[in-house]
Amino acid sequence: MYFVAKTMAEKAAWEFAKEHGLDLVTIHPSVVIGPFITPSRPLSVDISLSVITRNEALYPMVTRARAVHLDDLCNAHIYLFEHPEAEGRYICSSHCFTILDLAKSLSQRYPEFEGVDESLKAVPCSSKKLMDLGFKFKYNPEEHDVGDLVSDAIESCREKGLMPV
């Protein structure tokens, strides 16, 4: 239902903008990872931590995943707001990874976490339109691996007592 509701809301927004002559820009983030202020773990954090928490029910959502750090998503909103030439829909996703990539990265940072199936592969995704406009990811894949995106979420979980380790 969540994805259906999001699609219907965006469709209504585009129709409203067209009827009223408004400029509209939408951002479509992948899984958003990073620190959080809620008292419980958000679903996106549960998904990214499933390899650590051993929540196998969520594995299919991260076997081939795309993610963006919360900081980059916030910066993309501001960036597009400040660039009047921005128009249409933008995908905001800095990293494509497999559960294996995530497990390897996290096991280097947190040796207490075990690895997973090495046979999983990534599915490509693209934020080309956003980057063609000049946006630069703070957590870019050239300098940061997927573990960097998840580390802030792990620290938030630990601070809130939401991690068993």
CATH code (residue 152): 3.40.50.720
Residue 94, pLDDT score: 93
Cα 65 to Cα 33, 47, 51, 94, 115, distances in angstroms: 12, 10, 13, 11, 17
Residue 161, pLDDT score: 85
Residue 48, pLDDT score: 82
The verdict on residue 14 lying in a domain is no
Cα 160 to Cα 78, 98, 164, distances in angstroms: 29, 27, 11
Going by pLDDT thresholds of 50, 70 and 90, the confidence category of residue 79 is very high
The verdict on residue 104 lying in a domain is yes
The verdict on residue 85 lying in a domain is yes
Tell me: pLDDT of 22 over 90.
Answer: yes
Whether pTM > 0.75 for this model: the answer is no
- Mean pLDDT, the chain, as a whole number? 85
The verdict on residue 53 lying in a domain is yes
What residues are annotated to the active site? 6
DSSP per residue over 57-71, as a string?
A: GGHHHHTEEEEEEHH
The verdict on residue 11 lying in a domain is no
Residue 124, pLDDT score: 57
Closest-CA residue to 30 (of 90, 93, 76, 75): 93
The verdict on residue 2 lying in a domain is no
The verdict on residue 16 lying in a domain is no
The verdict on residue 22 lying in a domain is no
Query: How many domains does the structure of the chain reveal?
Result: 1
Predicted confidence (pLDDT) per residue in 45-60, tens digit: 888 888 777 787 887 7
The alpha carbon of 159 is separated from its chain's Cα centroid by a whole number of angstroms, namely 21
- The domain containing residue 85 runs over which residues? 29-159
For residues 33 and 95, give the distance between their C-alpha atoms in angstroms, rounded to a whole number: 11
User: Token pair for residue 143?
Assistant: 């300098």
More confident residue, 134 or 102: 134
List residues bridging with 27 in a β-sheet.
90
